[in-house]
Structure 1
């Protein structure tokens, strides 16, 4: 099975401007993400997909693979879908966010394994979730929550508390979405052909485009603890975590 990793990378960022080019103990955030993904050894190729000449030049400076995309995209998945002819054919494409410099092998292997075991090719999209253990995260809009069916397909993704425990039983597990996606090529093309819906635009969550169009999304439970970088505080925490 041929698998290609695609890292969508915009220079603009509302909460932390230019975050992918910020220094993370001697290397930029985007370079550390690229190198972490490549170091897993799981991919036939790794590409950064960007509309920024600054990011393009940064990736080329260390001989990384990078392709330029257009600028008019609603989300990273639209961006990577637009460059499939440039990066070449694969069985599976994995979308890793550009601000995930601590990406490791195990959760990516989990996603690939789902497709390896899906011999009838019924699954087109797969992503990750992790049980929330810190109560403050449940109502944090920067932490995307996901609820699923018994077969682990997604019912809904939200920045709000879902489900709402009306009786305050305390028995409801909450899960946060980990923003790494794996797609079959056809599912990725189908996504890009669909317009953003009301829910996606309201929550600013691209995964809701699948939900609004009745496309099943498999959501696998993982123990992977990601350190994404969305704020200045996240960046400082990441700097403390980097050892080299």
Structure 2
């Protein structure tokens, strides 16, 4: 595959916990602009904000950035990205990175890592990231999604449960140091080919994703592979709440 890649940034106005989130100010700029800047720093060949709200569309356009209005009835950001690919006429082999619109602190290298990992193989139409878990509490936290890999770096399973379970060390002391295995936390950064996106959007939901509330399990359920690139660390969390907004704004002021 070609290493050239596009970035699509899904951005909805209607967040239940933080309405208007993409347009909230961080260090003098709307959050969505910071996210676009991370994509530019990753050397993406094209960046498109995918939105269903005219206010976001107008704000992005007024700043000289590209936005596309998409169907408000999409059930996921993945479906919104697939619509952008159709609108833009991108070829099946084109690599597209899904960059969440509330991740202004994502390391640009991670965006590039996901795209280059996908481009460097031909067994999967999707690549994602993971980082080694260093804190035992994280293994047992259901909000931290774990992933186990095969010998070639493809996902065997994603779960909110502590996988793999260390039979000899976890039952009594939850000792990560004694567990003879490096546990991995999944990082929700995805690179896809357009051809994969089109297949994915035609698949019904799977029972596993309903149980775990993990959309990526649909891919394994339908028999396709997911390449996982291991990166140095889990990035700082994005913006979901007013407290998150203050934390991220403080980071930008310090830098």
Structure 1 stretches of at least 4 aligned residues deviating more than 3 Å after TM superposition = 14-18
TM-score, scaled relative to structure 1: 0.89
Instruction: Give the one of 18, 21, 24 matched to 2:20.
Output: 18
Instruction: Give the one of 233, 236, 241 matched to 1:231.
Output: 241
Matched, 1:4 2:12: no
**Cα-to-partner distance string for 1:128-170 (whole Å, 9 max, x where unaligned):** 0011223332233332221222221112222332223333253
1:114-153 correspondence runs (5 A): 114-118=117-121, 121-153=122-154
1:160-199 correspondence runs (5 A): 160-168=161-169, 170-171=178-179, 172-199=181-208
Distance change (3 Å), C-alpha of 1:126 and 1:14: same
Structure 1 gap ranges (5+) = none
Instruction: Give the one of 105, 110, 117 matched to 2:108.
Output: 105
Matched, 1:242 2:252: yes
Distance change (3 Å), C-alpha of 1:18 and 1:161: farther
Q: How many residues align?
A: 241
Instruction: Give the one of 211, 234, 242 matched to 1:202.
Output: 211
- Cα distance between partner residues in 2 of 1:100 and 1:224: 15
CA contact (8 A) 1:107 1:224 kept: no
The alignment partner of 1:83 has SS state of helix
Structure 2 gap ranges (5+) = 171-177
- Cα distance between partner residues in 1 of 2:66 and 2:232: 29
Residue 40 of structure 2 corresponds to 38
Structure 1 range deviating more: 218-227 or 231-240: 231-240
Residue 73 of structure 1 corresponds to 74
The alignment partner of 2:100 has SS state of coil
Distance change (3 Å), C-alpha of 1:112 and 1:200: same
Structure 1 range deviating more: 208-217 or 89-98: 89-98
**Cα-to-partner distance string for 1:194-238 (whole Å, 9 max, x where unaligned):** 122222233332211101111100001001542222333332221
- Cα distance between partner residues in 2 of 1:233 and 1:159: 24
Superposition deviation, residue 33 in structure 1? 0.6
1:203-222 correspondence runs (5 A): 203-222=212-231
TM-score, scaled relative to structure 2: 0.85
Superposition deviation, residue 14 in structure 1? 4.1
The alignment partner of 1:49 has SS state of strand
- Cα distance between partner residues in 1 of 2:213 and 2:23: 23
